Structure 1
Amino acid sequence: MSLVVRPSPAIWVDGEPATALPIPDRGLDFGDGLFETLLVRQGQPVLLDYHLQRLQHGIEALAFPDCLPRARDHLASACKQLIGTPWAALRLTVTRGAGPRGYAPPERVVPRTIITSAPLQQDRDELSAPITLGWAEVAWSIQPRLAGIKHLNRLEQVLAANEARALGVDEVVMLDARGLVCSVSAANLFLVEDGRLLTPSLEYVGIAGTRRRLVIEQLAPALNIEVVQRDVHAAQLEQAAELFCCNAIRGLQPVSRLGEQHWQDHPVCSALHAGYREAVAC
């Protein structure tokens, strides 16, 4: 299948094409902002409602003025430019905008939207090849006020991704500061145990992924598979019948190895993927 390839990522700032990022900006200065990474198919963002609902939750959690309608309009304009591109990754960033020196936000906040997009080469309809996992040394910090939202502070995930590269694995499992399983560096995590799906609770830490939500609310119920959100211990992963990860760009990814444990078959992930294909069909 031939894909339309654009020569470089496109950038829009506050709805206008741009070649540079404006400064000062509190997103750059303090990580004072939010982002959404969307899969776009022929100009149509996949699971847009899920992304916008999470973004709105983040806007409220960070006490931004209501900027969702403006961000949604800018997103729609950017997506129109991707018509004719089979698959693209689009990142929507919303920051608190410019401000004076110091941590305290300005009295009058004017949020800023920054959008970038780039074409994807792989057909996102297909189930991803199985991936290998290791264990991260860096842990998620616990902050219930930020749990679930996708804020800009991602240094822990940057360090974890570096560890994955050093270990020669595709991803690493990250624990939280309590020693409980949270996720991998860039995706949510599910395990199959006693015929049920388990996924770590996000009450105190973690990101409420859109594909995680899709599995919980639509894909698993369609197959009459129970999903339990609760504390997950490291030992449970190596004893699981099956593991898989999920995020917006990669979709569902079965796990073939974690440490010394190997999985050759992935029947649950494969069954869920059949429903996932329909969800991304736009």
Structure 2
Amino acid sequence: MIRILWADTDQVPASDRGLAYGDGIFETLRIQHGRPTLCDRHVERLLNGALRLGIPLIRTELESAIVQACRRYARAEDWVLKLILTRGSGGRGYRPPDAPVPCLILSAHAMPPLPAEGGVKVALARLNLTVNPVLAGLKSLARSEQVLASRSLPRHCFEALMTDTAGRLLEGTRTNLMLRFDDGWLTPPATHLAVAGVMRAQVMDALLARGEPVRERSIEFAKLVSPRCEGMLIMNSVIGVMPVRSIGCVELPVSAGLATIASINFFVDSYV
């Protein structure tokens, strides 16, 4: 059984392993009309992440907590629900307890400001992103690289894109990315990503359903200036999908096909 903590009334104990070691995972859901969007995908990723980390989590308890949160924090406008799952308290030392009591912390937040339609400016982060293959795609609490990259983000830019040590594009500090070419779409492999986003999965499935090829390949920066490149999208489960107008001083095209995909509402209500 998990321990439920409400951020507006409860306190997280100092002994919690999420605080001490980043021993946990999290999800961020956009709530529209009182219902969590892309909830099935969020629940599946949280369950999968808990399984990979060896944190016991029961689907029905998780779904019940989301229902309670939507009722507790209900408001007329769109808002954001954050779920933080930790292994719970376990004393000092890296070795986890044999029988942990996981802690699920729920909090409500206002929607972040969204840029105007038509595209955003992004920057290249100075810090490279390193991804341990064992933890690839896992939305863990250990996000120091993203914090440092965001700290140096120019104010006129919406996002910082991160590269690996070879200079290949991977993802943003809070978004995934896709490039459109004349023969289909390209996105970095999930096995190379720090976070394999639920919106990324949603968009990929929608593109494939439309008959548009999507390939998971490494993306060298040179591909952006190829005449075959028709533009880039960034995406996550809160902001949705947005075209990129420029990366630093490099201007990017926004083709008709790219703009069409960016205009689709990929948010769907769930069964919750």
Q: Does 1:251 align with 2:240?
A: yes
Q: Does 1:237 align with 2:228?
A: no
Q: Does 1:102 align with 2:98?
A: no
Q: Does 1:60 align with 2:51?
A: yes
In structure 2, how many angstroms separate the alpha carbons of the residues matched to 1:170 and 1:275?
A: 20
Residue number in structure 2 paired with 1:226: 213
Change (3 A) 1:128 1:57: farther
Deviation string 1:50-82 (CA, Å, 9 cap, x unpaired) is 101111110111011234432221111001234
| Residue of structure 2 aligned with 1:276, choices 259, 265, 268 | 265
Aligned-residue offset at 1:253: 1.2
Deviates more, 1:82-91 or 1:37-46: 82-91
Q: Does 1:152 align with 2:141?
A: yes
Residue number in structure 1 paired with 2:167: 179
Letter in 2 for 1:221: L
8 Å CA contact 2:159, 2:172 repeated in 1:
yes
Q: Does 1:90 align with 2:86?
A: no
Residue number in structure 2 paired with 1:212: 200
Aligned-residue offset at 1:222: 3.8
User: Superposition RMSD on alpha carbons, in Å?
Assistant: 2.3
Residue number in structure 2 paired with 1:260: 249
8 Å CA contact 2:80, 2:111 repeated in 1:
yes
Residue number in structure 2 paired with 1:80: 71
Aligned-residue offset at 1:148: 1.1
Residue number in structure 1 paired with 2:121: 132
Aligned-residue offset at 1:131: 1.0
- SS at 1:113's partner residue? strand
Letter in 1 for 2:211: N
In structure 2, how many angstroms separate the alpha carbons of the residues matched to 1:101 and 1:67?
A: 26
Change (3 A) 1:39 1:269: farther
- SS at 1:244's partner residue? strand
In structure 2, how many angstroms separate the alpha carbons of the residues matched to 1:150 and 1:127?
A: 28
Summarize the alignment of residues 17-28 of structure 1 with structure 2, pairs less than 5 Å apart.
18-28=9-19
Deviation string 1:202-241 (CA, Å, 9 cap, x unpaired) is 21332110110011112x1343211111111121124332
Output the TM-score relative to the length of structure 1.
0.86
Change (3 A) 1:15 1:101: closer
- SS at 1:158's partner residue? helix
Deviates more, 1:76-85 or 1:179-188: 76-85
8 Å CA contact 2:120, 2:158 repeated in 1:
yes
Q: Which runs of 5+ in 1 are unaligned?
A: 1-12
What percentage of residue pairs aligned between the two structures are identical? 29
Deviation string 1:148-173 (CA, Å, 9 cap, x unpaired) is 1111000100111112137x422121
* Count of equivalent residues: 265
Residue number in structure 1 paired with 2:23: 32
Deviating 4+ runs (over 6 angstroms): none
In structure 2, how many angstroms separate the alpha carbons of the residues matched to 1:248 and 1:128?
A: 17
Residue number in structure 1 paired with 2:105: 114
Change (3 A) 1:21 1:215: same
Change (3 A) 1:162 1:142: same
Residue number in structure 2 paired with 1:7: none
In structure 1, how many angstroms separate the alpha carbons of the residues matched to 2:140 and 2:52?
A: 10
Q: Which runs of 5+ in 2 are unaligned?
A: none
Residue number in structure 2 paired with 1:162: 151
Output the TM-score relative to the length of structure 2.
0.89
Aligned-residue offset at 1:251: 0.5
Change (3 A) 1:116 1:269: farther
- SS at 2:138's partner residue? coil
